[in-house]
Amino acid sequence: MRKIINKIINRWLVLSTRKNGYFMAANSLFGIAIILIPFAHESFQELIAKIIIEIACSNWNFACEIKPIVNNSQQIYVLIGIISCILTGLYLYHKGQTPPKNKPNKRITPQIDPIGSNNNVKLFSYCGSILHINNIEVVVTSENQWLNIGTGESMSSRIRILSSEKDEKGQTIICHIEKEINYWKKNKGIGPYQTGETIEIKAAKNTDAYARGVRHTIHAVALKKCSETGEKKISETTNKKIIDKCLKFCEANNISSIFIPIFGLGAGEIDEELAIPATINPIINGMKEYSNNLDVYFGTYREGDAEKVKMYLEDNL
């Protein structure tokens, strides 16, 4: 394998130089650098990296000594090409030495596990996509300080999809959550809003959310973003304000089930060691005085996060 790769690359260099001088040689070297990146993988990475470095270095004198066919100013191109090969080889070698990171295992279909109870409140782990929620009356979401509903893979984005009215082709006609929040903003201003602020929105009947048993969504400003560094922050004090409001709402409206995400996990980019206690502790404290029957579902999207939630609850209940 080593001899074959070596022969191919050297032959390419010779043919390129004979035709168009240093300019073609440079293009050839740069082409090798680009082509080998996606194809070098695992056991071949170190081998290819070493060959690239050896050939590039052995051709350095070749590039500097032969007379250019075009003009002296283009000699720099072949040197740039060789340097590109050396850097590519070093990159592949380093990549080959670095163990691949384990990708988080995300669930689509929810897995719901009972964890424990206290008085009239039962606690569950909900791991999976909120798009598949069933028969949970209240869904709480975490929003930014401007209450701009999330996009992409965020939970906020998914609950907006569920709560939107669609036509026969599945295209959104009315985004009820966005409509209600914009109406609320007319009285409150455009933001930024204080952390701990919440908005309760009643689910529209002709939506997927309503069909799946969701009757209300509560949108909470749980994250604070530093304007200078862009760092997102979360606090147990803020979460307590949110949780207290949610529990009071459930008690006043005879709600029997509520979904609460672990604020800051996932799109929030908060470390789980901070996010999990900051969300769970206010619930543990709040449910001691809760008088009605209530099922609380702690929402996560990754299986690893769900396991950590279970462990934390088992240790602290």
Residue 157's nearest CA partner among 172, 137, 138, 136 is: 172
What DSSP letter does each residue of 1-61 carry, written as one string?
A: -HHHHHHHHHHHHHHHHHHHHHHHHHHHHHHHHHHHHHH--THHHHHHHHHHHHHHHHTHH
State how beta strands 198-202 and 216-221 pair: antiparallel
pLDDT at 232: 87
Task: Give, as one character, the DSSP assignment of residue 192.
Answer: P
pTM listed for this prediction: 0.68
- Given the structure tokens 């543990």, which residue do they identify? 284
End-to-end CA distance of the chain: 61
Return the sign of the alpha-carbon dihedral for residues 308, 309, 314, 317: positive
Q: What is the CB neighbour count within 10 angstroms for residue 107?
A: 16
For residue range 109-166, what is the model confidence (pLDDT) as tens digits? Answer: 899 999 999 889 999 999 999 999 999 999 999 998 999 887 777 888 899 999 999 9
pLDDT at 82: 62
pLDDT at 213: 97
pLDDT at 189: 87
Mean pLDDT by 10 residues, the chain (317 residues): 56 51 52 53 53 55 46 53 63 56 69 91 95 97 88 85 92 93 90 93 96 97 83 92 96 97 87 94 91 95 94 92
pLDDT at 317: 84
Domains along the chain?
2-97 (no CATH), 111-316 (3.40.220.10)
